[in-house]
Amino acid sequence: MNSALFIAQRMTAVILAFAVAIHLVTIIYAAQHGLTAGHILQRTHGNLAFLALYSTFVIAAAIHGPIGLRNILREWLGWWGHRIDASLFAFALMLLALGLRAAYGVFVA
Amino acid sequence: MTGTELTVRIWRGQEDGEFQTYRLATRAAQTVLDVVTEIQRGQEPDLAYRYACRVGMCGSCAMTVNGAPRWTCRTRVSAVARKGILKLQPLRNLPVVKDLVVDMTTFFVKWQKAKGVFEPGSVPLADFAIVKPNSAERRAVDAGVECIGCGICYSACDVVAWDRDYLGPAALNRAWTLVNDVRDRGQTERLAAVAAVGGCHSCHTHMSCTRLCPKNLAPTYAIGGLKRASARAALKVTT
């Protein structure tokens, strides 16, 4: 792993630490207060703060995850090279597209 | 413990081989190296092992003792024997030459790859470098400079075991002492070398090297320093 990937992984880890904590607290709050899907969508509809938070979450996860996966593939399976990097870049784009689509979907629902 | 029987199981052969069992009497203040020497002189003349100084300076007598790499000249039998049994193997992560002797070539080649040699530059400094003893750089050098190149950290490291390109704790520790050497003129190349594939960023901070280093050095912290220094260098290049 070169320094650029190291920095990217550490910086996104900082973002994820906050984002995951907020995400978990939100889940626990929703479960404890018996919120239905309808109630949740009412709160998220048109909520720019929600959209900003979850978009940041998705972007950080799409960067952080594939870098870690790259290390695992290299260390445990010995897979490395441009082909693996291209595959992981495609995987990152897929995470980004699916994640942003989901966040936007909940925002406009 | 003196006078009781010690059972010693020693690896014989190369990568393929088997343990052979020897028995001898324990002695007061006996080291593991004493045991190996007594067996070679009295029972097994063709037993191969390596040592030189016998006083913890040269780093040549390291081997795996009851599962952990140790310098055998400074390791008392009484501290490591379990129920009167010693199991001796060559160091892990290096090719076995014969019995307890490993080929250290890869270990030292990686020191070179990590740019673990002083680079004076093409033009000598005009004057002596002033290095204050209590400066942060000098203290960082002091913390890692007493490495004796025994290979114990390299043998203890799991990342070395699963990543053949990983430079290992000793080479990176040496690089860190040179990163903090204000006289050195090869920092750009060194930071690029330690940040490449198999460099400092591959360390998982297991700290086996730091736990087992016989000189009580902390290569894990040296590697942490390299991570920060190489990251700072990368940010400077891109900004």
Q: Which residue has the tokens 């007594």?
A: B38
| ipTM, two decimals | 0.75
Q: Enumerate domains of chain B plus CATH numbers.
A: 5-102 (3.10.20.30), 105-238 (1.10.1060.10)
In percent, how much of chain B has pLDDT > 70?
Answer: 97
What are the pLDDT digits (tens) for A55-92?
999 999 999 999 999 989 988 888 888 999 999 999 99
pLDDT band with cut points at 50, 70 and 90 for residue B238: low
Computed over every residue of chain B, the mean pLDDT equals: 95
Which amino acid belongs to residue B122? S
Q: What is the mean predicted confidence (pLDDT) over B173-187?
A: 96
Asked if A5's CB is within 8 angstroms of B201's CB, the reply is yes
Q: Are B36 and B49 in contact (CB under 8 A)?
A: yes
Rounded Cα–Cα distance for residues B107 and B84 (Å): 33
What are the pLDDT digits (tens) for B102-154?
999 999 999 999 999 999 999 888 889 999 999 999 999 999 999 999 999 99
Tokens read off for A16: 């994820």
- Chain A residue closest to B230 (CA)? A3
pLDDT band with cut points at 50, 70 and 90 for residue B1: low
Chain A residues near residue B233 by CB distance under 8 angstroms: 3
Domain boundaries, chain A: 3-108
Q: Which of B159, B195, B235 sits opposite A2 (nearest CB)?
A: B195
Asked if B197's CB is within 8 angstroms of A1's CB, the reply is yes
Tokens read off for A35: 């919120």
Computed over every residue of chain A, the mean pLDDT equals: 94
Question: Chain B 149-168, CB below 8 Å of chain A: which residues?
Answer: 159, 162-163
Residue A46 φ then ψ, to 5°: 70, 10
CA B198 to chain centre: 17
- Chain A residue closest to B233 (CA)? A3
Q: How far away is chain A from the Cα of B78, in angstroms, using its nearest Cα?
A: 38
pLDDT band with cut points at 50, 70 and 90 for residue B26: very high
Residue A105 φ then ψ, to 5°: -60, -45
Q: How far away is chain A from the Cα of B97, in angstroms, using its nearest Cα?
A: 26
Q: Quick one: pLDDT at residue B30?
A: 96
What count of Cα atoms within 13 Å lies in the side-chain half-sphere of residue B60?
9
What are the pLDDT digits (tens) for B10-25?
999 999 999 999 999 9
What stretch of H or E contains B25? strand B17-25
Assign a CATH topology to domain A3-108.
Answer: 3 helical TM bundles of succinate and fumarate reductases (1.20.1300)
Q: Are A54 and A98 in contact (CB under 8 A)?
A: no
Asked if B163's CB is within 8 angstroms of A6's CB, the reply is no
Rounded Cα–Cα distance for residues B23 and B21 (Å): 7
Q: Are B172 and B200 in contact (CB under 8 A)?
A: yes
Asked if B162's CB is within 8 angstroms of A7's CB, the reply is no
